[in-house]
């Protein structure tokens, strides 16, 4: 109940822009499971932030009450932000083909909620996507990558590959925050594959 109290306090204090158009990447997320016996573990092969209809609360830096609670209970260690990426595949979130890719955002609200998977699944439109392996450029992209974002403006979906066989996570980067050379690369590749 203490967790619900601090979450409620922080969420009601946020503006719509703070919640759906965050300026900084989230610290992480809390999935509230109401299913008896369901626990997300390191061995799970797929974790979707909107999985099983469970509420998912994305934790941002301005949620000071929640962060203090997590610190007091020793849970803040799960939000350590130590993830390292070794590759990134990027697709344009505003191309018409993405309307068919319902798993990248809610088809009605266009609210993107990310996720993680252990294996590289060959579905969606990342198969022929623009790929980046330069670590400095990957880090630049990651600095503005969101696990939750309202996709009503131009942007990009990015599938990051985690270091040490850590799997893959899909995130959203607003176009205004994407490096120009990546934008140009995605556009050139989309033209080559006739994806525009």
Q: Using the predicted structure, report yes or no on whether residue 51 has a pLDDT greater than 70.
A: no
At 50, the pLDDT band (50, 70, 90 cuts) reads low
Residues 89 and 108 in one domain: yes
Same-domain check for residues 187 and 93 = yes
For the segment 58-104, what is each residue's pLDDT rounded down to a tens digit?
A: 999 999 999 999 999 999 988 877 779 999 999 888 754 544 444 45
188 and 91 both lie in a single domain: yes
Cα–Cα distance, 107 to 100 (Å, whole number)? 9
The single residue listed with the structure tokens 């000071």 is 64
**Length in residues, the chain:** 196
Owning domain of residue 123: 85-192
Look at residues 47, 79, 111 and tell me which one is the last residue of a structural domain.
Answer: 79
Considering only CA atoms, which of 127, 130, 10, 17 is closest in space to residue 68?
A: 10
Phi and psi torsions of 149, nearest 5°: -160, 145
Q: What is the pTM of this model?
A: 0.81
Q: Is 39 in the same domain as 72?
A: yes
- CA–CA distance, 50 with 56 (Å, rounded to integer): 6
Is 137 within 8 Å of 86 (Cβ atoms)? no
**Total domains in the fold of the chain:** 2
């Amino acid at each position: 109940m203490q967790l619900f109290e601090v979450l409620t306090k922080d969420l009601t204090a946020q503006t719509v822009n703070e919640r759906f158009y965050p300026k900084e990447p989230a610290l992480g997320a809390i999935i509230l499971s109401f299913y008896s016996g369901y626990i997300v573990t390191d061995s799970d092969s797929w974790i979707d932030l909107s999985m099983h209809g469970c509420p998912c609360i994305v934790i941002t830096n301005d949620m000071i009450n929640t962060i203090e609670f997590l610190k007091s209970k020793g849970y803040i260690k799960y939000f350590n932000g130590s993830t390292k990426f070794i590759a990134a595949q990027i697709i344009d979130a505003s191309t018409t083909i993405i309307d068919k890719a319902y798993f990248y955002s809610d088809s009605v609200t266009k609210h993107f909620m990310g996720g993680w998977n252990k294996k590289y699944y060959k579905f969606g439109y990342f198969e022929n996507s623009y790929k980046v392996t330069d670590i400095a450029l990957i880090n630049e992209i990651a600095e503005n990558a969101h696990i939750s974002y309202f996709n009503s403006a131009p942007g990009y979906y990015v599938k990051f590959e985690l270091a040490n066989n850590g799997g893959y996570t899909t995130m959203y980067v607003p176009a205004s925050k994407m490096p120009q050379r990546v934008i140009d690369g995605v556009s050139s590749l989309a033209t080559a594959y006739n994806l525009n």
